[in-house]
Amino acid sequence: MAVVTGGASGIGLGIAEAIVDRGGRVVISDIRQDALPAALDHLNGRAEGARAAGIVADVSNAAEVETLTAFTLETFGRVDLVCNNAGLVSPAAPTWEQDLATWDRMIRVKIMGVIHGVRAFAPHLVAQGSGHILNTASSAGLAPLADRSPYTTTMHAVVGLTETLDVELKRLSSQLGATVLCPGLVDTPLGANSAALGAIAAPAGPPVDMRALRPDILSPRQVAEAAINAVEAGRVHVAPGGDVLERARSRVDELLRDIASVAP
């Protein structure tokens, strides 16, 4: 039994689909009410019986995430996997030119959204003695991404939060844990949805065919499969995508070189 925030589209919908295809049940939540019915039809069309339910919830609002928790427990009786996935992208500009409204929005949705999910659901997992929290960050949480500072900052925060959370959960039981998902580029409508939610300007011109531009782009389902495999294996990090390993390696190498150069 799982819950996925930002589950009406993209990676969240891919995770929900993978859960339903494995015979599981899922609650999806999203801030875009109009996107939920099609996502639920898609999920419930894949198996016998209603395996998916949905509710509107803004992850930046703690009370709405508490309502999501109550809805999840009322609908399916328990929760085993909590996917804090909802997110937006920020406009492209150097750090000093990013406006305060962007910083505020990214912190409220991406950092506070994950914190609200952990605060609302973790006590239930701890009480039942088992369960897993899967937080979606990005490859931008493992290495710098120029001109997306509000995005990289909040994604790094989600990596740090999840690593800490995993230690705290595993200290209680080996049946508890947390995983952070840090994919490279994924073929989702993140830009269009972020524009619809007022986070970035609507892109000018016809939609870009990302598959033609970047043949190595991942599908949401590929990302979902990698994430679920990592959860099942109890791994703390999962970072699918062509260049992610190299980008993470070069950051860690540089970090260790810098630290070692002043070590006593």
Ligand X SMILES: NC(=O)c1ccc[n+]([C@@H]2O[C@H](COP(=O)([O-])OP(=O)(O)OC[C@H]3O[C@@H](n4cnc5c(N)ncnc54)[C@H](O)[C@@H]3O)[C@@H](O)[C@H]2O)c1
C-alpha span between 32 and 41 (Å, rounded): 15
Beta carbon of residue 129, minimum distance to ligand X (angstroms, whole number): 29
Residues ≥6 apart with Cβ < 8 Å to 202: 192, 195
Segment 66 to 105, residues that bind ligand X, using CB under 6 A: 85-88
> 133, 151, 181, 220: which is the annotated catalytic residue?
151
Segment 31 to 50, residues that bind ligand X, using CB under 6 A: 31-32, 35
C-alpha span between 226 and 28 (Å, rounded): 19
Beta carbon of residue 238, minimum distance to ligand X (angstroms, whole number): 12
Neighbouring C-beta atoms of residue 30, cutoff 10 Å? 26
Q: H or E segment at 90?
A: none
Nearer to ligand X, 129 or 189 (CB): 189
Q: CB of 68 within 8 A of CB of 30?
A: no
**How are strands ordered across the β-sheet holding 131-136?**
52-56, 26-30, 2-5, 81-84, 131-136, 176-181, 237-238
Beta carbon of residue 174, minimum distance to ligand X (angstroms, whole number): 28
Beta carbon of residue 204, minimum distance to ligand X (angstroms, whole number): 19
Nearer to ligand X, 189 or 203 (CB): 189
Interaction of residue 59 with ligand X, rule CB under 6 A: yes
Nearer to ligand X, 190 or 226 (CB): 190
Interaction of residue 149 with ligand X, rule CB under 6 A: no
The residues facing 178 across adjacent strands are: 133
Residues ≥6 apart with Cβ < 8 Å to 22: 228
240 is catalytic: no
Q: Which of 16, 25, 26, 30 binds ligand X (CB under 6 A)?
A: 30
Q: Which residues are catalytic?
A: 151
Would you tell me which residues interact with ligand X (CB under 6 A)?
5-6, 8-12, 30-32, 35, 58-60, 85-88, 109, 113, 136, 138, 183, 185-186, 188-190, 193, 197
